[in-house]
Structure 1
Amino acid sequence: MSELPLAGFRVGVTAARRAEEQIALLERRGAEVVHAPALSVDPNRIDEAALLAATRQVLAAPVDIFVATTGIGLKSWFTAAERWGLQERLLAHLGAAEILARGPKSVGVIRRFGLRELWAPESEEFEDVLGHLRGRDLAGRRIVVQEHGQSLSMAAHALRRLGASVETVAVYRVEGAEDPEPMFGLIEQIAARRVHAVTFTAAPAVAAMMAAATSTGQRDDVVSAFQADVVASCVGPVTAAAFEMWGVPSVYPDRSRLAAMVKQLEAELPSRAEGTALEVAGHILLLHGDQVLLDGVEVKLSPAPAAVLQALLVNPGSVVSRRDLLAALPSGTAGSEHAVEMAVARLRAGLGTRCVQTVVKRGYRLATAP
């Protein structure tokens, strides 16, 4: 077996920004990478006129509490204010308020511009900022919330119910990838369990992927794949929280960093593959990612027989019909039962003729030990 920890594993990458860095980290560890950007390379589109109007609205009255949610959004806002000749006034205005920051990136920008946050949650989660506010008397308080690419109107409404006057400042809106085809291709691979993990570095990327899966009618298949076989790997808790509404479990490292996310996958994927050893026709069959080992010797399989093996392994020893095996074959394979027979023949050539049994008029099964 290869000494590279991710050899034999296929990983989908949904990032657009810093994608090359992430792909390099994965490939150096042996992973095969499927790159499908979920968002635009420059996703943060600023509506200058709308932002200027929102800035003037903020300056129109004293602010009691200011909530900063992202470093890039805050920096973009302050930079735009400088172009309008309003930066010094805006900083002084917000500096007189109680400043809450969602995480270290927004804290960094706050301090860089000479301001100081009063509180930030250790979790880096916006929900904890809301919890902090909900525990206080907000009657008559004016709160300004800098949005983070997606609308926070529901959060603002919840705070208004507590008596606060709340305004949201939409610095930018996140836009989807210019070419959606790679994402559609990745969605097909997720649904077919042909990738072992998919990485996400931003919550909007999760929303974009699920929207694309919904548009192609594959949302339920994608959710099922993530719930059972495909690892949803997130850079941090904020991104992971975007999966909660779908009932999808996800993993994320203690530190919200690319290298930490990849390091976590080094341990996560091999550990999940360790339990796939089976006794088949007197041999030990072991799957490590996409690597197939028979009695410790790697067996090279082309896509069609590999797809048949994966289908037979879903319930080892159970009969799988020719129709179901045909559906499992890679797209582009000739759509007939003869294609299934050819794929089974090639699988037998790789594993040995006794490893795959024919069940007359029903289909095929692995010859697993009773």
Structure 2
Amino acid sequence: MTVAPVPDEGGTRPLEGYRIGVTAARKVEEQIALLERRGARVEWAPSLSQDPNQVDDSELRAATERLLAEPVDIFVATTGIGMKTWFEASEGWGLHDALVEAIGAAEVLARGPKSVGALRRRGIRELWSPGSECFEDVLAHLRGRDLVGRRIVVQEHGQSLSMVAHALQRQGARVEVVTVYRVQGAEDPEPMFRMVDLVADRELDALTFTSAPAVAAFMEAAGVTGRRDEVIAACQADVIAACVGPVTAAAFEMWGVPSITPERSRLAAMVKLLETELPSRRDGLSLEVAGHTLLLHGDLVLLDGVEVRLSPAPLAVLHALVVNPGHVVSRSELLAGLPSGTAGSEHAVEMAVARLRAALGTRVVQTVVKRGYRLAVGS
């Protein structure tokens, strides 16, 4: 796909000189336009299929008819596109009004604002929705309640929710999962392989993601090409992983990859955040730590203006600690970020921290008993 350059309307191009990778398959024209308008050079490789609505019409209709066969006690909507697709399909079967009535009569929970919007456009009001947009918080909302015998219908969000169904069934609920669509990988993986190479070779300044499945697909591509460790190291140091919301960002946490997320889960907000983050990263991150000035620029570390050479493990620990300076990072999180080949135990973390303290000073990294480590920012 080719997107024509968008003329600069305001005279300012805050992303001029930056090269940004885009992995989205949907609304990609809008995202690329936002970035190019601000001067960015954009590389695009969809990590998922450009046809997101992989719907089996006969299966969805059968699931709809089963839903309508008896009252629903609790209905959980997980995605806006899923609910929109389902309602549109039901119109073709002549079941739209019955579906709206059945869902509206239930206790309706919605994972986020997009699913809320899709429901309200059909006149359905949600009873509760988490501010975090995390499905885990929907489960937490139901955890501890008496669900024995209650019929719960969950609209699946493109990935299997069988584990969720089992968790609710343990509370005594009758759970039915309705698969509206399945998320499919990109038809041609070659552009994604090329994107992996760009990240691993640190030829990009930032990489954007708009869904958790996109993160999973990208990391799978990195694994297939044998460059996953290089990708993780690049994202810990030189390439900013920008995620549209907390659900997407959470998919990176298991890999030890830090990411930035706007306060509002919107494309424009993510691009605006890059306007702030990219220039600050290019200039280097400067912190006052334990009475010293610590400057990081990629793998370059300066302490009071003097270069300090760190081996990969202590450097990985330092990068993890500076993501949120002064905040505690657990040993398990630090372990996940250590380079491959490092012994997979918390002792490896302790050794890396010891080497970091030997290089920067014993007071730079503080131990928080039973929790982890943090930088002694400003002390």
Instruction: Determine which structure has more spread, i.e. the larger CA radius of gyration.
Output: 1
Q: Given that residues 43 and 176 in structure 1 are in contact (C-alpha distance below 8 angstroms), is that contact kept between their aligned partners in structure 2?
A: no
Please state if 1:160 is matched with 2:169: yes
Match of 1:198 among 199, 207, 229: 207
Which residue pairs with 2:88 in the alignment?
79
How big is each residue's C-alpha offset from its partner over 1:97-120, in whole Å with a ceiling of 9 and x where there is no partner?
100011111111211112211111
Unaligned runs of 5+ in 1: 278-286, 289-309, 319-370
The one-letter code of the counterpart of 2:158 is G
Match of 1:244 among 249, 253, 256: 253
Q: Distance in 2 between matches of 1:91 and 1:270?
A: 48
Which residue pairs with 1:174 in the alignment?
183
Q: Distance in 2 between matches of 1:268 and 1:69?
A: 30
Q: Distance in 1 between matches of 2:70 and 2:230?
A: 50
Q: Given that residues 301 and 308 in structure 2 are in contact (C-alpha distance below 8 angstroms), is that contact kept between their aligned partners in structure 1?
A: no
How big is each residue's C-alpha offset from its partner over 1:269-304, in whole Å with a ceiling of 9 and x where there is no partner?
111121289xxxxxxxxx99xxxxxxxxxxxxxxxx
How big is each residue's C-alpha offset from its partner over 1:58-100, in whole Å with a ceiling of 9 and x where there is no partner?
2222211000011110111111112112222222222221000
Match of 1:94 among 95, 103, 123: 103
- After superposing on structure 2, the runs of 4+ consecutive aligned residues of structure 1 that deviate more than 4 Å are 313-318
Please state if 1:118 is matched with 2:127: yes
The one-letter code of the counterpart of 1:215 is V
Unaligned runs of 5+ in 2: 1-10, 287-295, 310-379
Q: Distance in 2 between matches of 1:139 and 1:220?
A: 46
Please state if 1:142 is matched with 2:151: yes
Q: Normalization by structure 2: what TM-score?
A: 0.71
Question: How far is 1:317 from its partner?
Answer: 8.6
Which residue pairs with 2:40 in the alignment?
31
The one-letter code of the counterpart of 1:7 is E
Which residue pairs with 2:20 in the alignment?
11
How big is each residue's C-alpha offset from its partner over 1:212-249, in whole Å with a ceiling of 9 and x where there is no partner?
11211222222222223221101111211221222222
Q: Distance in 2 between matches of 1:13 and 1:117?
A: 33
Q: Distance in 1 between matches of 2:216 and 2:246?
A: 15
Q: Given that residues 11 and 196 in structure 1 are in contact (C-alpha distance below 8 angstroms), is that contact kept between their aligned partners in structure 2?
A: yes
Which residue pairs with 2:291 in the alignment?
none
Which residue pairs with 1:342 in the alignment?
none
Give the secondary structure class of the aligned counterpart of 1:129: helix
Q: Structure 1 pair 276/129, CA: closer, same or farther in 2 (3 Å)? A: closer
Q: Given that residues 232 and 249 in structure 1 are in contact (C-alpha distance below 8 angstroms), is that contact kept between their aligned partners in structure 2?
A: yes
Task: Calculate the aligned-residue CA RMSD, in Å.
Answer: 2.6
Q: Distance in 2 between matches of 1:12 and 1:35?
A: 6
The one-letter code of the counterpart of 1:69 is T
Correspondences of 1:264-343 after superposition (within 5 Å) = 264-275=273-284
Give the secondary structure class of the aligned counterpart of 1:128: helix
Q: Given that residues 242 and 260 in structure 2 are in contact (C-alpha distance below 8 angstroms), is that contact kept between their aligned partners in structure 1?
A: yes
Q: Distance in 1 between matches of 2:228 and 2:142?
A: 35
Which residue pairs with 2:220 in the alignment?
211
Q: Distance in 2 between matches of 1:27 and 1:222?
A: 24
Question: How far is 1:263 from its partner?
Answer: 0.4
Q: Distance in 2 between matches of 1:62 and 1:25?
A: 45
Give the secondary structure class of the aligned counterpart of 1:176: coil
Please state if 1:262 is matched with 2:253: no
- Percent sequence identity is 69
Match of 2:30 among 21, 39, 43: 21
* Aligned residue pair count: 289
Which residue pairs with 2:5 in the alignment?
none
Q: Distance in 2 between matches of 1:118 and 1:263?
A: 32
Q: Distance in 2 between matches of 1:159 and 1:176?
A: 29
Match of 1:186 among 185, 195, 198: 195
The one-letter code of the counterpart of 1:134 is R
